[in-house]
């Protein structure tokens, strides 16, 4: 891409925490980026405010209850066509949940750069998304998660065959260092009080159960082609090291920065360039001590379940993801206890009987798991 040509960007999930940070990065570099589309699930007010700032941007609402044909907001049916049009160079996928898969695949097939922030896409269908990228699909996939961005940066100029281990770091969330706390009595407000990051509700609850680390293990396997046995999770409460790569010669590369999503977003938008992202420089005197702790999978079994589902492959990760999505929503609505989230995921995995293979089977397993949790398991835990 020539320096004189700005990158035309579509942000799917513009009203969420990732989308808001992405717009901040775009705002800082009007010579490099042009925002052409913003889309949100249902937050009409915030979407309209964003469109008022970025003149001429197209805007889409995905919820039929929020769409009004009387205004200039477009319905969901218009999104795929715009994303795949020549008017878009890069699609930042930050929609919550598994609905992002459709738009991710469509954009890749249309030859777009996809900056992927939605964990569920690679968790439920990573095998098939990677196949698309390797099988002649003209698109390009870039990670946005801070952990995967850290690994990606550490691999620049390196050969994957020289990697011996990926190390994904975890802050531990609000409960890891509170062993006295009864997880059955945790409130929604307590679970949403993450000590390091400011994220949307679903991702924040995943960080509290540590399911986010399990999902990141599956993502890393697909993104970087590293076997599960060579991917570790370690608890690092300061969240300064965002992940590490260990090589066969014993060298370890780590990416460090203050915990702020604007950095990995800027990297995904501007690669291979590094632009001012809006986060402060790292002062090691202020950082002080960096700590590392072994992951306690007995008290926080989500990561173990994710490893098991990932190694089984096929439809198992989709079931893990779908059951977790529904259980987290139920917890946020006050319908189940915090500890029941992972219990529901484990019970759903135990009940799953794979039916076929391929992307259609993955989507069917996703539907089955959601229905199973709603119709069967909720009655048992409420």
Give tens-digit pLDDT for 196-253: 767 778 889 999 999 999 999 999 999 999 999 999 999 999 999 999 999 999 999 9
Could you tell me the CA-to-CA distances from 246 to 163, 215, 249 in Å, in that order? 6, 21, 8
Closest residue by Cα to residue 270 from 20, 57, 29, 10: 29
Q: Helix H segments across 85-181?
A: 100-109, 119-134, 146-155
Q: CA torsion, points 154, 224, 118, 310, in degrees to nearest 10? A: -130
Distance between CA atoms of 132 and 99, rounded to whole angstroms? 18
Distance between CA atoms of 131 and 152, rounded to whole angstroms? 19
Q: Helix H segments across 211-256?
A: 211-224
Distance between CA atoms of 279 and 242, rounded to whole angstroms? 15
Closest residue by Cα to residue 344 from 332, 331, 362: 331
Distance between CA atoms of 299 and 283, rounded to whole angstroms? 34
How confident is the prediction along the chain (382 residues), in pLDDT tens digits per residue? Answer: 444 589 999 999 999 999 999 999 999 999 999 999 999 988 999 999 999 999 999 999 987 665 566 568 888 889 999 999 999 999 999 997 667 899 999 999 999 999 999 988 999 999 999 888 887 678 899 999 999 999 999 999 999 999 999 999 999 989 899 888 888 889 999 999 887 767 778 889 999 999 999 999 999 999 999 999 999 999 999 999 999 999 999 999 999 999 999 999 999 999 999 999 999 999 999 999 999 999 999 999 999 999 999 999 999 999 999 999 999 999 999 999 999 999 999 999 999 999 888 999 999 999 999 999 998 876 666 5
Mean pLDDT of all residues belonging to the chain = 92
Element (H, E) at 59: strand 58-61
Q: What is the DSSP letter of 358?
A: S
Distance between CA atoms of 50 and 32, rounded to whole angstroms? 19
Distance between CA atoms of 317 and 332, rounded to whole angstroms? 22
The pLDDT tens digits for 117-145 are: 998 899 999 999 988 888 767 889 999 99
Q: Are strands 293-294 and 7-12 parallel, antiparallel or unpaired?
A: unpaired
What b/e readout covers 62-73, taking b as 16+ CB neighbours within 10 angstroms? beeebbeeeeeb
Q: Are strands 163-170 and 140-143 parallel, antiparallel or unpaired?
A: unpaired
DSSP 151-178: HHHHHTT--GGGEEEEEEEE--TTTTT-
Neighbours of 102 (CB within 10 A): 15
Distance between CA atoms of 142 and 185, rounded to whole angstroms? 39
Please name the residues in contact with 301: beta carbons below 8 A apart, sequence gap of 6 or more.
342, 346
Could you tell me the CA-to-CA distances from 379 to 4, 238, 287, 372, 375 in Å, in that order? 59, 39, 47, 11, 7
Place of tokens 């065959």: 161
Domains in the chain (CATH in brackets) are: 7-143 (3.40.50.720), 145-260+280-302 (no CATH), 313-382 (1.10.1740.10)
- Residue 192 φ then ψ, to 5°: -85, -5
Going across the sheet that includes 90-93, the strands are 58-61, 33-40, 7-12, 90-93, 113-116, 140-143
Q: What is the DSSP letter of 239?
A: -
Place of tokens 């598994």: 98
- Using alpha carbons only, how large is the chain's radius of gyration in Å? 20
Q: Are strands 252-256 and 241-247 parallel, antiparallel or unpaired?
A: antiparallel
Distance between CA atoms of 38 and 3, rounded to whole angstroms? 24
């Amino acid at each position: 891409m020539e320096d004189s040509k700005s990158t035309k960007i579509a942000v799917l999930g513009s009203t969420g925490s990732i989308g808001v940070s992405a717009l901040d990065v775009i705002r800082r570099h009007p010579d490099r980026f042009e925002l052409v589309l913003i889309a949100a699930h249902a937050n009409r007010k915030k979407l309209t405010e964003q469109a008022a700032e970025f003149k001429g941007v197209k805007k889409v609402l995905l919820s039929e209850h929020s769409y009004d044909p009387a205004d200039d907001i477009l319905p969901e049916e218009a999104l795929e066509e715009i994303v795949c049009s020549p008017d878009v160079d890069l699609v930042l996928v930050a929609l919550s949940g598994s609905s992002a898969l459709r738009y991710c695949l469509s954009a890749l097939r249309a030859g777009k750069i996809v900056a992927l922030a939605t964990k569920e896409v690679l968790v439920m269908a990573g095998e098939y998304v990677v196949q698309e990228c390797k099988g002649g699909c003209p698109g390009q996939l870039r990670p946005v998660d801070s952990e995967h961005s850290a690994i990606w940066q550490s691999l620049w100029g390196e050969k994957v065959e020289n990697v011996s281990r990926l190390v994904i770091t975890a802050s531990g969330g609000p409960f890891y260092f509170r062993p006295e706390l009864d997880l059955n009595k945790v409130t929604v407000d307590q679970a949403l009080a993450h000590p390091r990051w400011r994220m949307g509700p679903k991702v924040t609850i995943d960080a509290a159960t540590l399911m986010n680390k399990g999902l990141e293990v599956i993502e890393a396997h697909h993104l970087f082609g590293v076997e599960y046995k060579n991917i570790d999770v370690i608890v690092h409460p300061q969240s300064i090291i965002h992940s590490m790569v260990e090589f066969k010669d014993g060298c370890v590369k780590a990416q460090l920065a203050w915990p702020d999503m604007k950095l990995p977003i800027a990297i995904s938008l501007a690669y291979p360039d590094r632009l001012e992202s809006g986060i402060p420089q790292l002062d090691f005197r202020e950082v002080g001590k960096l700590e590392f702790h072994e992951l306690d999978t007995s008290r926080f079994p989500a990561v173990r379940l994710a490893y098991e589902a990932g190694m089984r492959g096929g439809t198992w990760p989709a079931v893990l993801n779908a059951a977790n999505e529904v259980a987290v929503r139920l917890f946020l609505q006050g319908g189940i206890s915090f500890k029941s989230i992972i219990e529901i995921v484990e019970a759903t995995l135990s009940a799953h009987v794979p039916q076929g293979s391929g992307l259609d089977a993955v989507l069917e397993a996703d539907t089955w798991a959601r229905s199973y949790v709603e119709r069967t398991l909720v009655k048992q835990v409420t």
